[in-house]
Structure 1
Amino acid sequence: MASPSPSVLSLSALSLVLASGCTRAYLQNEGRYEFSAVDVLRDDCGLISTPDSLWDGTLSISGDVVRLDSDWRHLRLIGAFLQQGGPDDSVTFSLDGTESNAAITLGTDECIADQIAVHLEGTTQRATEFKGVMSVRVLPRVEQPSCACQLWVTYRAVQNAAPSASFP
């Protein structure tokens, strides 16, 4: 059996290099992050008792897709990187998650929300840290207008464990 010609080997190597270039690499590590409030801009809901009471979560990255599995209400936020930068550049990402027909206690009120919506924007500071703005909107049923509220907070998230594998 004859060995492949050098041009066939070169084309095979080139196709592998080009295919591997399609996957983005970002500076941000995957894994568990601890979130703390830098500034509470608005909290009609009374969701934050202390700055350290923000919810932690696990960040996963697959290409340009970002996922945060939040400890609060076990919400999954999904989004993407917004800026095109190199692997060592700070980049911004945006995530959203919702829960429908949700029971939630706000102060002394027991509420049934048509929807709880969480939006998070983050900017990489270093591989183990990002910061940004998070908002929570509670949209109640018509019968419970007193349950309508919002939380707006600037936050800092710091990785507290070894990086985890990408999500499937």
Structure 2
Amino acid sequence: MKELIKKNVEKHSSSLEGFALHTTKHIGSPLSLVVHTCFFVGIFSLQWFGFGFDQIMLILTTAVSLEAIYLSIFIQMTINHQAHKLTAVSKDVEEISDDVEEISKDIDDIQEDVEEISEDVDELGKQDERKALKHQSEQEKIYHIENILRELLQEIRSFEDKKK
């Protein structure tokens, strides 16, 4: 039962709020200016229908007072509605800000990982260079030994040739 009453109140308040928002949207528009001008001209034309000046002023001041009261209420409802919207947007901005902070931290972590990987790659590159230099040095030693062996082989052949 309470839920039904709550839904009924929300339905009526939302339609009243919609009316207030719609009304305040048109205040200050050219149409509003035309309507108010026609009203003022029309109110003074009541003299031709037998109304006295005092009665016309009483009707005018009463109508203007009521309009001011209702417009101020509608404007306050619009302000409250906008305040609720701003609160919701503010919460969204806070959530986005938190997400941005988390992403920033993730980016910092990724950047640190990239730096570590870069250092590892540099170290591997240096190790590869050392291995290449070591291999080159070994190749040079082998080449040098081969040359010595060739020279020795030639000397041995030359000794054999001399013996014969």
Please classify the TM superposition score into its range, dividing by the shorter chain length: under 0.3
The higher radius of gyration belongs to 2
TM-score, normalization by structure 1 = 0.23
Higher strand share: 1
Higher helix share: 2
TM-score, normalization by structure 2 = 0.23
